Structure 1
Amino acid sequence: MTLTAVILLGAFHGINPAMGWLFAVARGLQERSRDLLLQSLPVIALGHLASVALVVAVVSATGSLVTGTALAIGAGILLVGFGLWHLLARRHFRWVGMRLSLPQLAAWSFLMSSVHGAGLMLLPVLTRMPAGHHGHALSGGLFVAGVHTLAMFLTATAVAVVVYEFVGVAVLRRAWFNLDRMWAFALVGAGVFTLVAAV
């Protein structure tokens, strides 16, 4: 998986309404304020980055303790298991209400990104990074997380502005594609890819 794939995964997260742009649009429409929408998106991206960075920290911390193959196999199993759980789960994580402060919005984004396994999708990249000094592995992983989150942020911003200015949320009732289900299949696919590449 290359940096291009990392960017594409970020863009995919940006398109997914569950990762935050829909929440930002709802806040903007609720207060009739494009500024509120635009203030929400960087905070949502920050929560997303924190979730992904947590995965990076765990991978870089264990990389020196566990062989790359064992880590890749464990990551693959985790991805497949999480994807299957996400496919079979009947309920999704819910937050209370739409009136959140910016710190609460960042916490919401962190939880949603974590629940949806945002950082897990980067495991194939992180487990293939050269093993070496802990600081180098961490900085390389944080670079990957940063590029991924930037792609997510730019895509989410574009989608949110288009929906807010031209489409409105009513269109989602007529033309809804279940990105959560697609995301779960993507998790399983990434897990299978990781397992095959590791064996």
Structure 2
Amino acid sequence: MTGTTLATLAALGAFHGLNPAMGWLLAVGRGLQERRRAALLAALPPIALGHLASVAVIAALVTATRSVTASRALAVAGGVLLVGYGLWRLLSERHFRWAGMRLSAGQLAGWSFLMSSAHGAGLMLLPVLLAEPTPAGGPHAGHLAAAPAGALTGLAAAGVHTVAMLAVATVIALVVYEVLGVGVLRKAWFNVDRLWAGVLVAAGVVTLVGAS
């Protein structure tokens, strides 16, 4: 992966970390409920693990099937999916409900996996991964011999992305817990879901243009 790719993956991870729906608000809730910063910090790694699993599934599949034809077909399908999902999120009146606060580490990871998947977190990486140069071997790079290396690249990309997401989510959770309190969200927080949906649509358009 190039430096530009790594920086973009980290930036997307930071963007995901900003979204309270990705788990930092749940971690803050745990900390406030138990009145312990340690409870907040303990909730974040399982949340990040669930996010990593959700993103890694798509990232590994994308990078493991990188033939010229497959990449173009995947780009078109991914672009359509991004645009469609983004428009659905923009137009939908549904809101995802917060789960109960008393969850085990495994339940937190499972909740995060489902929430990240429902919000299309892995889809955001499609334009970045598909823009990477085709691995050595040209049109045959997507064959079974190259698939394991491609899958590892996808997993590494998901790892970089998730580390950035966890770092940003941790900082925000601690600031809210220690300084602001959740009451500030009612006054200052804008609708990140709408922004995210708009970015999904834009990413889908970029992917479709690049595949044409």
TM-score interval (norm. to shorter): over 0.9
2:166 to 153, 161, 184: 153
What SS class does the counterpart of residue 182 from structure 2 fall into? coil
Please list, as runs of the form range in 1=range in 2, the aligned pairs for 1:1-199 lying within 5 A after superposition.
2-64=5-67, 66-129=69-132, 130-131=134-135, 132=141, 133-199=146-212
- 1: CA distance between counterparts of 2:129 and 2:147? 13
Cα displacement (A) at 1:95: 4.7
Structure 1 segments (4+ residues) deviating >4 Å: none
Cα 1:187–1:166 change in 2 (3 A) is same
Q: Which amino acid aligns with 2:36?
A: S
CA contact (8 A) 1:95 1:108 kept: no
Superposed CA RMSD: 1.6
- 2: CA distance between counterparts of 1:137 and 1:60? 5
User: Aligned residue pairs: how many?
Assistant: 199
What SS class does the counterpart of residue 167 from structure 2 fall into? helix
Cα displacement (A) at 1:62: 4.2
Cα displacement (A) at 1:56: 1.9
The answer for unaligned runs of 5 or more in structure 1 is none
CA contact (8 A) 1:72 1:198 kept: yes
- 2: CA distance between counterparts of 1:190 and 1:75? 10
Cα displacement (A) at 1:69: 1.2
- 1: CA distance between counterparts of 2:48 and 2:21? 13
CA contact (8 A) 2:60 2:150 kept: no
Q: Which amino acid aligns with 2:183?
A: A
- 2: CA distance between counterparts of 1:22 and 1:142? 26
Q: Which amino acid aligns with 1:181?
A: R
CA contact (8 A) 1:56 1:141 kept: yes
- 2: CA distance between counterparts of 1:88 and 1:69? 28
Q: Which amino acid aligns with 1:3?
A: L
CA contact (8 A) 2:63 2:154 kept: yes
- 2: CA distance between counterparts of 1:114 and 1:169? 25
CA contact (8 A) 2:65 2:147 kept: no
What SS class does the counterpart of residue 170 from structure 1 fall into? helix
CA contact (8 A) 1:68 1:128 kept: no
Normalising by structure 1, we get a TM-score of 0.94
The answer for unaligned runs of 5 or more in structure 2 is 136-140
Q: Which amino acid aligns with 2:193?
A: D
CA contact (8 A) 1:64 1:134 kept: no
